[in-house]
Amino acid sequence: MSEVLRSYIETYASTTLTDAEFELVMNAFTFKRLRRKQYLLQEGDVCKYYGFILKGAMRQYSVDLKGTEYVIHLGLEESWIGDRESFFMLTPSQYNIDAWEDTDLLLITNEDFQRLLDTIPAVVTMMRVIDQRYYISTQRRLHSSIAYTARERYEELVNTQPELIQRFPQQMIASYLGISPETLSRIRRQSIEK
């Protein structure tokens, strides 16, 4: 399981970690297994850990006063999950994060994360690449939510992240796309009929 994280860091950093560096990395993380529907973070709590998903599926969402869920992030294997603002600013989170499937994670605290950034150049490079990709992804998602039709948003997701559609239920996908489940159902039905 640790080799998954090592491979991930080395791929994003385009460099090889020494065994000593990787030992420091692994000492900074703790393993956690979440059962389906178990929380990693609940609204109002400070995000004490950022997680690297080894196996499973997770979602990050908020809930309004009427009980409507708004999914802002869906995470699968070899992706990160956590509330960035709460984690780095140490403020109460406005999000819930839970496991949609039984999930294995490697968790890191802010303090340990900062220590890795101070001591391991590959982690700094990895984070720079991840931050760039995250920013681009966020920018694209924002653009699609204001400029694309519901059909175009769904088709883009099918083309760029089909694994999400296979692993999460239609209601969550609809929330993630910012459309109603009925609209998504109609779009999918029309796609099948073509």
Q: Are residues 156 and 175 in the same domain?
A: yes
Residue from 141, 143, 180, 147 nearest 161 by CA: 141
Contact 60, 75 (CB under 8 A): yes
Amino acid in the structure at residue 155: E
Q: Are residues 99 and 85 in the same domain?
A: yes
Give the list of residues 6+ apart from residue 28 with CB closer than 8 angstroms, or none: 108, 112, 113, 115, 116
Instruction: Give how many domains the chain has, as a whole number.
Output: 2
Q: Are residues 56 and 112 in the same domain?
A: yes
Q: Which residues pair with 103 in a beta bridge?
A: 34
Interatomic CA distance for residues 49 and 111, integer angstroms: 10
CA 73 to mean position of chain CA atoms? 5
Q: Are residues 49 and 35 in the same domain?
A: yes
Torsions phi, psi for 99 (to 5 deg) = -85, 130
4-14 mean pLDDT: 94
Q: Are residues 162 and 174 in the same domain?
A: yes
116-122 mean pLDDT: 96
Q: Are residues 99 and 154 in the same domain?
A: no
**At residue 127, does pLDDT exceed 90?**
yes
pTM value? Answer: 0.92
Region label for 41, one of left (φ > 0), alpha (ψ between -120 and 50) or beta (otherwise)? beta
Domain boundaries, position 186: 148-194
The predicted-structure confidence for 63-110, as pLDDT tens digits, reads as follows: 999 999 999 999 999 999 999 999 999 999 999 999 999 999 999 999
Per-residue pLDDT band for 1 (boundaries 50, 70, 90) equals: low
**At residue 194, does pLDDT exceed 70?**
no
Which value, to the nearest 10 degrees, does the dihedral of the CA atoms of residues 115, 121, 122, 126 take?
Answer: 80
Q: Crossing angle, helix 2-13 and helix 121-147, to 10 degrees?
A: 80
Q: Are residues 60 and 137 in the same domain?
A: yes
Contact 153, 187 (CB under 8 A): no
The pLDDT of residue 77 is 97
The predicted-structure confidence for 22-68, as pLDDT tens digits, reads as follows: 999 999 999 999 999 999 999 999 999 999 999 999 999 999 999 99
